[in-house]
Structure formats: C-alpha cells, structure tokens
Chains A and B, each alone.
Chain A
C-alpha cells in the first residue's frame, strides 16, 4: 500500500519531448514508473523514449488508459495544460514547472476541482512511492521502502527528511512535495487522511515553511482526526520579518504565518515538533520505537 500512486499507475507526460520533460521522464522510466506515453502538440504519432507521443491529452488517455499526468510545460502554458488534463479525465496532475503566474493557477485549480482532478504543485519535486513509482524530479535512490509518509512544501527538505528517515533504518511509504506557491494543489489537510488510512504508513513527517496558514489548518486537522504519530519541522524560524526568502509562499504577512505560531499550533495538536531539520530522523526513530 501507499497513497495516490503505485507500481501499476499509468502516467503520461505533458511537455514530453522538451529538454526537462525528456530528462526527467527518462529518470522516472529508469526508476520503474509506468510512463505509457506523452503529449507534445504536432508530434503526435511519433515515438519518444520508446513511448508513443500524442497531440492531445484526450488521445493519450483514450489510447493508454493513463490516469496521472506529469506536467513539464513552460510556465505560461501550465494553466492550459492542467485544464486540458482535467478536461480529458486525468485523475491526478503533478505540476513540476516553476514560475507559473498565480492568476493562471487560480483558474486552473478551480477548473481541476470542478472536474474532480487532484493536483500536486506547481513548483514542486512531485510524488514518489518508494521503489514503485516516481513522478517528479527527486533523486530516487534516497527513498528506501518503509512505513513513513512524508509531506513537504520544500523540495530539498523533502530529500533531507527522507534521507534521515532512511539512515535511521526506516523507510518511506509515499513522499509528496506539495510546493510553496500561493496556490497549490493537494495540501497537508487532504494528504494527512490518506496517510491515516494507509495501513503501510505508521508515522508521518510534515515539513512546512513560514507564510500562509496551511500548517495551522493541518494542526487543527491532526488534533481531531490523526492517530498516527506526526513529526514536524517548520523552516524559517530565523527568517527576518517582511523579507522574501525565494519562495512566494515564504512571506510573513502581518502577524500570521510565523514559524513560532505554526510550531505552537502543531505542538498543541500533539505533534512532535523539531527545531532543526537535522532532528527529523531521530524524532521518527523515537516515535516509531515507542
């Protein structure tokens, strides 16, 4: 078991033949992901990486039965690609592209929701079910199979967290990089119940950042509904107020969204909160050895 994706998940790639799309699709194929085709307008009928290329997502879905799309198109085409996937009946779109305009994502997310399509990202490393299915740009070799679920806003902290969990002798069931943009797809609150329901997941690592209130919402949800142990780290305790730290999500506005507030809310919900990402592995070892 795992959440959202597994060894049988059929995946297509939008922006399949581009430089980024090609490189990462090849890595995913090598990992064992069932990439069954891709979409690049005007290249339909050709073959790429040994898989068929289609002009439209509809054709790709009809021909391959894919349920998930990994999106690598350039930023200004992201909204179009997401809406096309939703329109074609894709169930989950994993949006890797960085720099999509917020207004575009607002419209795309609203359309996806209307069509019951889940989204992950944009501007994220993607999703991986260890040793089964990698849909994204994360280094596959650090994710050993195990019983820890991981949800993170930050890409490199996903790797840091997963690496520590594995070095402590545990492993990852599924890891999801949700991205830190102002508008994102699946968030903590939607992913936590999936991990709660997954018998293979015994503990959850949650990595957040300053800005927004997703972690506060997550804390409220955990308090009410999550019985599995949760370890959390919030990046940006030392970030100065009002300064921007790269991610659009990493903005402190007014009094809301500070690391201190989020850490306090999570602690109050019974979460084991660590003050440095270097403590994630140890904390997981502690909660799982109990």
Chain B
C-alpha cells in the first residue's frame, strides 16, 4: 500500500525526521487558509497523487504571494496529472499540499528498501538528488551508496560514517545531523513494516540543515494488520476501481490493452497464459488470478470484471486444478454464465484433478459460446482464433 507525501511527512514528523512545515488542502479556499497559517514568504503548491515525477508534469509550483497560491491551487487541483509513473491516462489531483519554501543549497537522495539478495534493508544515498534516480543508478552506479543494515544489530555508528563519508560531507555538525536523519528513517522503516521509503530530494539548506523535501512510502500489505494507523491512511480513490473491486472478491486483477480476457488460477500461470496468448499472435486484455478458491461466485465476478472492458473479444479460462477440483470449476462456469451475460466466446481449459469429469459437464451443458480446450497451447490458439474471428 502506498501513501501520499503529506501522510509520509506526518510519519516523518512523528519520528523527528525534519521536514518543511506544510498542510494538506482539499479545496482552493483551504489551500489559501493553509498558506496564511504557514505565513510565507514563499510557498510550494504540490499535487498529492500516488506517483512520482509530479514536478516535471506541472504538479509542483512555487508561489510568492497568497494570490499566487490561490491561482496555482485552482490550476492544479482537479487537473489530470500525467507523469512517467501514472501511465498515459494520468491521475486526477484531488488533494494539495501547501508547504513552506525551503532555502535549497544541495539536493541529495536518500531511500530505504529491502535488498533481496542480501536479505536485509539497505539505505541508498546519492549526491545526485532531484534527478531520476534510476537514470543515475543506470548511468553512474558509483554515485549511489548502498549501506545494508542487519536488523539483528540495527543502525550503528559505522553505518552512519559510511553514509556521510560516502556522500563527501566533511562538516562535523552536518555529519551529525545527517546521521541522525538516516538513523530515524531506518527506525521508522522497520517499525512500520515499510516496503520502501524514498526522499528525493533531501535538501541541505543554506544554514546546513537537512530537510525531507519529498517523501514517498510504501508498506508491506501482509503487515498492515498490525498497523491500523497506517491502514487508516489508505486513499482508495488512488487505486484502480476494477482492481479494488476484484480484490474484494479475492481476485487479483490488472487491466491491459489487448483483446483476450484471461481468467487463471495462480499468478505465475496467469502471466504464463498472457505470454502464451502473445506468442500465438494475440493480445491479453488483462491479468486475472482467481486464486486457489475459485467457485461459481468468484468466476461470475471475474467474467463481470473482464467484460466491463469493451475491447474484450474472447475469454480464455485456464485452470490447472490442484487441490481445487475441475468438475467444481466447470459447474462454477455454468453457474456464472447464468449470472452474467457472457456475449463473447469463452475458451475453457481445465486440467488436473477430475479434468475428464469437468470436460463431460461442459460437453453435456452444450452452451453455444463455451469452447473446450485440451491444453494450454490448444486453449491459447483457440482464444486467439476466436478473437480474430470476432473482428
């Protein structure tokens, strides 16, 4: 789960990680009110969406008067912001963050993520803040310092020294401040089961203070149960409506651009099915993992969500029944076709436990647009052919 910048900064503040003062606004009036409370003389008006690249997309602007705050808030609030992380459809700006302008001397990058290879959190830092960090990592990897912190010992002095010397910070006072900053960030990463924290830029002000000018945080969904305060920060308007609806039924759904709807059990087989459709010359319309507990209701819901997409010309149901029995799924499909108007051909491949019984059920039901397939390749080929025919 991801949260907004203003929420990340609330968590930072709780742990004593310094940030500029700021207030969230959901209307232009509130934005102006916030600007007055902050007092100026410079404010930053920032769009709050769950995506990076907001500045380049026109969602972060500097204001030098209350009037300018009002004008910019009116511009940004309600705009559809398109950045390299939002996809071409962009994201509607529904919240603003009005923040004190900072006296920026240097821009750094600081983040904490899990290093899967080392199996411990790693603090990443760079003097090349404010830029796309992936580009820095790709073109000049030596400019990114990575410090793995073993949770068994926690953040120690040597981690801090590695950080400041690595960044070329020589002033003892500044060293102390940045080490404290990083140690607090590590602490809040661990205590909140964060998946990643990214501060880009972390700025050094003219007076040698370090401030988190931005803040992105994502959390381990599996651990949200023990963090009700974090879970309360969920902004469902930032999530894809179809993906969320699917999630409520235990389905994992991601919409794509193609024409063949997919309903599969297991994430790996679901991706493998998409790959096979592509290999056979078709295009997948979605990723949909029905999980291990597929029944008539979830299958019906799956059909409903897939068919909301007007581009879908055929559906490929690909189930490898392990513990789930295929005959039950076949019955589920029959039930589902009664509950939902399935107006495109449905290619069904059921393999594994009780597959012959399942084939028998589908054969006897004799539904016009349900086509049985013998294996993955056969199913994908039939789905691609059906989609082409529908054109």
Which residues of A line the B interface, CB within 8 A? 24, 27, 75-76, 99-104, 106-107, 109-110, 125, 137-139, 141-142, 152-157, 159-160, 163, 180, 182-183, 207, 209-210, 212-214, 217, 233, 235-240, 242-248, 250, 254-255, 259, 275-279
Contacts and interface: CB of A to CB of B under 8 A. Distances in A.
| Chain B interface helix/strand/loop/mixed | mixed
A-B complex: 4 closest residue pairs judged by Cβ atoms = A154-B268, A156-B266, A246-B267, A156-B269
Contacts of B351: 160, 163
Given A154-B266, A242-B85, A106 B119 contact: yes
B37 interface: no
Contacts of B275: 235-238, 259, 275-277
Contacts of B322: 125, 137-139, 155-156, 159
Contacts of B151: 103, 106-107, 110
B220 A101 contact: yes
A254 B287 contact: no
Chain B: interface residue count, which band? 35 or more
B222 A101 contact: yes
A244 B254 contact: yes
Contacts of A245: 252, 254, 267, 270-271, 287, 289
Contacts of A156: 264-266, 268-269, 320, 322
B296 to A, nearest CB: 20
Contact of B114 (A24, A27, A102, A160): A102
B1 to A, nearest CB: 11
Nearest to B137: A254
B268 A247 contact: yes
Contacts of B353: 139, 141
13 contacts: A101-B193, A104-B223, A155-B268, A156-B268, A157-B266, A159-B352, A160-B320, A180-B267, A180-B268, A235-B272, A240-B256, A246-B289, A276-B272
Contacts of B264: 156
B380 interface: yes
Contacts of A159: 320, 322, 352
Most A C-beta atoms less than 10 A away, residue of B195, B254, B322: B322
Interface in B102-116: 114, 116
